[in-house]
Amino acid sequence: MRVIHKIPFSPSEIEQYRQLVFENLTSGLRLVLEAMEDMELTVEDANIPYVQMIQHSPDIGEGEPFPASYLESLKSLWGDHNIQRALQRGNEAALPEK
């Protein structure tokens, strides 16, 4: 609504949303990985090292950049065939669409 009505965000709000984006990316992927266990799906062998990374992702603090080391892991896991299959079956585990 703020965008529609051209009400700008404060720098503090922008920072809070920026931190929230990283948290949503990692926590959402953790939920998918947990649901995959119930679906009897596993990530591709090449992506196994990234699973541990996502399961232990840090919170980013104010002004801290997104951890660059997570870029490749997030991209690779998102492209994983079985993760995509789990997302297609998301209604079985009430997975969020985004």
* Burial readout 53-88 (b: 16 or more C-beta within 10 A, e: otherwise): bbeebeebeeeeeeeeebeebbebbeebebbeebbe
Q: What is the pLDDT along the chain (98 residues), one digit of tens a residue?
A: 878 888 998 999 999 999 999 999 999 999 999 999 999 999 999 999 999 999 999 999 999 999 999 999 999 999 999 999 999 988 777 656 65
Determine the pLDDT at residue 73. 94
7 is a domain residue: no
Is residue 80 in some structural domain?
yes
Residue 3, in any domain of the structure: no
Domain range for residue 48? 12-92
The amino acid at 46: A
pTM of the model: 0.80
The count of structural domains within the chain is 1
**4 domain residue, yes or no:** no
Where is 26: in which H helix or E strand? helix 11-38
Please return the burial class of 27, using the count of CB atoms within 10 Å of its CB with bins 0-12, 13-18 and 19+: exposed
